[in-house]
Amino acid sequence: MKLKLIIYCFILSFVSAVNAFSQNTSYKITVTPLSSNLYKFSCGVNNWLVSAGPDGVLLSDSAPEKYAEGTKAELKKLGHEKAAYIINTHWHHDHCGGNLLFGKDAVIIAQHSVRKDLAMDKYISIFDEHFKAYPEYALPNMTFSKEVKIYFNSEEITVKHFPGGHSASDAAVYFKNADVIHIGDMAVMGQFPSVDFDNGGNVEQLAEHLKKIISEAGPETKIITGHLDDTDRQGLIEYRAMLLATVNIVKQQMKRGADLKEMQEKDILKEWRSWGKHLTCNMWIKTIYESLNQKILK
Domains of the chain with bracketed CATH: 23-235 (3.60.15.10)
3-class state of residue 264 by DSSP: helix
> What is the average pLDDT across 222-249?
98
Q: How do residues 80-124 score in pLDDT, each as one tens digit?
A: 999 999 999 999 999 999 999 999 999 999 999 999 999 999 988
Confidence band (pLDDT; 50, 70, 90) for 22? very low
Q: What's the mean pLDDT when you consider all of the chain?
A: 91
pLDDT at residue 295, as a whole number: 56
DSSP 235-250: HHHHHHHHHHHHHHHH
pLDDT at residue 98, as a whole number: 98
> What is the average pLDDT across 176-198?
96
The DSSP letter of residue 275 is: G
Query: Do the Cβ atoms of 159 and 109 come closer than 8 Å?
Result: yes
Query: Do the Cβ atoms of 149 and 173 come closer than 8 Å?
Result: no
Confidence band (pLDDT; 50, 70, 90) for 210? very high
The residue among 127, 114, 94 whose CA lies nearest residue 225 is 94
Identify which has the larger pLDDT, 41 or 8. 41
From CA 170, how far away is CA 208, in angstroms rounded? 13
Q: What percent of the chain has pLDDT over 70?
A: 90
pLDDT at residue 18, as a whole number: 35
Q: Which residues, 6+ apart, have CB-to-CB distance to 65 below 8 Å?
A: 93, 97, 98, 100, 101
pLDDT at residue 47, as a whole number: 98
pLDDT at residue 157, as a whole number: 98
What is the helix (H) or strand (E) element at residue 209, kind and residue range? helix 203-216
Q: How do residues 248-279 score in pLDDT, each as one tens digit?
A: 999 999 999 999 999 999 999 999 999 999 89
What is the helix (H) or strand (E) element at residue 109, kind and residue range? strand 107-111
Residue 15 has pLDDT above 60, yes or no: no
Cα 218 to Cα 233, 278, 281, distances in angstroms: 7, 29, 32
Terminal alpha carbon distance of the chain: 72
